[in-house]
Amino acid sequence: MTHAILTGANAKFYPFLLDTVRSVRRVATRDDLRICLFDFGLTDAQKSELAPLIDEIKDPGWDIDYGFKSDPPSYKKYVTASPFAAEHFPGHETYVWIDADAWVQTAEALDLLIAGAQKGRLAICQWNDRAYPSPLSGGRVKLWKGVPFLSGRRRATRTWLNGKLTQYYSRQLANQTFFTPSLNAGVWALPAECPHWQAWRDSLRAARFRRPRDLSDQIALNHAVLTRDLPVELLPSWCNWLCSAARPAFDEESGLFVEPYLPHHPIGIMHLVDRSKWETYDIATLEGGVKARSLRPPE
């Protein structure tokens, strides 16, 4: 049986998508991998350049119709396409999703994602790590002066997951799971046959998305796992390193980005969230130096 590596993008995001696909081809050592690409608005020239690097390509259309007054942008199809991936590209044993702003540095991460899915679980990383500044994604405290509460200040705490669950589902669920770390849907793996697919679709349909920009596969996936108690295989952060949260270190001897703390494990998948896609950073090396580097893959 084969394992499908899934990704997709539109024309604007193409340079990062090309990095993703090339990185898989560069490091993958197993012969049972197939790269399956979602076309969210690529040009004919871009698809021609990708053709030798991929095995399948498909424009998924919209798997769920929310009836918005204005049409969502085409790239937002990834929100509804992801939970239907096994139907769009049937016949594979395992499905591994990698966002188009992430690239694979070592094959170890792919092997671990597939191994986790083969246990019948959702293999995924939480949005936290010892190197990240906050144990809860988007965690913050708001203060209001002049309110006679807690020494004259009212304090309201909020996390990304808590806020989104309240907005799109229910405050009760959000409060019950306040201290639950968010799962990051930028990288995950699922077996072809498991209850997660249907639960994820149900959560997408139940979400109160009022505008196209509200669409989120990540909040729906978190909702499905929390409400259905779905089995999850939590992987180490180096399987989906969020570069916006913490800068990696660099091992000049191996030529690899590594965790900033001991044992400096090589990062398997670099996820270039937000400005880390194009910023250059002063990256510490294991040899004790500092060098300005882009976090994109080598040419």
Q: What is the pLDDT of residue 156?
A: 58
Q: How far is CA 35 from CA 95, 111, 153, 161, 260, in A?
A: 10, 15, 54, 31, 31
Mean pLDDT of 28-39: 95
Given pLDDT bands bounded at 50, 70 and 90, which one contains residue 254? very high
CATH 3.90.1010.10 fits 3-131+182-239, yes or no: no
Is the pLDDT reported for residue 130 higher than 90? yes
Cα 35 to Cα 70: distance, rounded to the nearest angstrom: 32
Q: What is the pLDDT of residue 158?
A: 72
Given pLDDT bands bounded at 50, 70 and 90, which one contains residue 155? low
DSSP string, the chain: --EEEEEEE-STTHHHHHHHHHHHHHH---SSEEEEEEESS--HHHHHHHGGG-SEEE----SS----SSPPPGGGHHHHHGGGHHHHS-S-SEEEEE-TTEEES-HHHHHHHHHHHTTTSEEEEES--TTSS-SSTT-EEEEEET-SSTTTEEEEEE-HHHHHHHHHT-HHHHHHTTTPPPEEEEEEEEESSSTHHHHHHHHHHHS---SGGG--HHHHHHHHHHHHT--EEEPPGGGSEETTT---EEETTTTEEE-SSTT-PBPSEEE--GGGGT-EEEEEBTTS-EEEEESSPP-
Q: Which of 8-22, 28-42, 109-123, 142-156 has the lowest mean pLDDT?
A: 142-156
Mean pLDDT of 203-220: 94
Q: What is the pLDDT of residue 67?
A: 86
Given pLDDT bands bounded at 50, 70 and 90, which one contains residue 148? low
Share of the chain above pLDDT 90, in %: 82
Q: Which of 112, 71, 77, 117 is nearest to 93 (CA)?
A: 117
Given pLDDT bands bounded at 50, 70 and 90, which one contains residue 298? confident
Domain positions in the chain are 3-131+182-239, 140-176, 245-294
Mean pLDDT of 72-88: 94
Mean pLDDT of 230-244: 97
Cα 204 to Cα 159: distance, rounded to the nearest angstrom: 20
Q: What is the pLDDT of residue 133?
A: 87
Is the pLDDT reported for residue 150 higher than 60? no
Handedness of CA 246, 101, 189, 52 (dihedral sign): negative
Cα 162 to Cα 143: distance, rounded to the nearest angstrom: 18
Mean pLDDT of 56-81: 91
Q: What is the pLDDT of residue 92?
A: 98
Cα 17 to Cα 297: distance, rounded to the nearest angstrom: 12
Q: How far is CA 228 from CA 96, 196, 255, in A?
A: 21, 9, 42
Query: For 42-64, what is each residue's pLDDT tens digit?
Result: 999 999 999 999 999 999 989 99
Q: What is the pLDDT of residue 63?
A: 92
Q: Mean pLDDT across the chain, nearest whole number?
A: 92
Tokens 């081809």 identify what position?
25
Q: What is the pLDDT of residue 81?
A: 95
pTM: 0.92
Q: Which residues pair with 250 in a beta bridge?
A: 257, 285
Cα 166 to Cα 158: distance, rounded to the nearest angstrom: 10
Mean pLDDT of 255-265: 97
Q: What is the pLDDT of residue 69?
A: 80
Is the pLDDT reported for residue 152 higher than 90? no
Q: Which of 154, 133, 134 is nearest to 142 (CA)?
A: 154
Is the pLDDT reported for residue 159 higher than 70? yes
Q: Which of 263, 270, 26, 3 is nearest to 115 (CA)?
A: 3
Is the pLDDT reported for residue 112 higher than 60? yes
